[in-house]
Structure 1
Amino acid sequence: MVQITIDLPQDIELDETIRQHAESRARESYVMELLRYGSISTGYAAKSLKLSRLEILDLMGQYKISIFPEQPPEELAQEVAATRRLIQP
């Protein structure tokens, strides 16, 4: 488990609702950045944020994270060629 600590000035007074909301948003942002860089799967992101697969896809859109992984042109060309072989009689 990863734990992140943020130092805030002591004179900042937060009620419990604001603190919980801020922590939730920080967790969401962290998980989405891990997802953006391919460190975790969409399934793991959804599970850790307690979201459905549909909700995580929506959240990915909000964070502008593509649902399609980045691919080198050569790998994409191989996939296209393999698909063409499958659909040609």
Structure 2
Amino acid sequence: MANIKSAEKRARIAKTRTLRNTSRKSAMKTAVKRFEASLAEQDNEKIEANFKKAIQLIDKAAVKGIIHPNARDRKKAQLAKKTESGPGIKR
């Protein structure tokens, strides 16, 4: 346990930020899972909406420093590839 007042404050801040980051990362993962579920349903409107939402949350997570920019690019490329090759997609 910290003995110095500023160290105690940093510990409190770290705990708060950890919770916030965990929440944002979880929301990002959920959006990706919803996108993949809409691919299975083969509903083009849902696919487009979920794709945009997933990309938005992935970008936001990278800007906030939750994931690395290279991880952001990799995830976005993987989703785009699934969109192009997914069943029921006509492009």
More helix by share: 2
Could you say which structure has the greater relative contact order, defined with CA pairs below 8 angstroms and 6 or more residues apart?
A: 2
Per the normalisation by structure 2, the TM-score is 0.40
Structure of higher CA gyration radius:
1
Per the normalisation by structure 1, the TM-score is 0.41
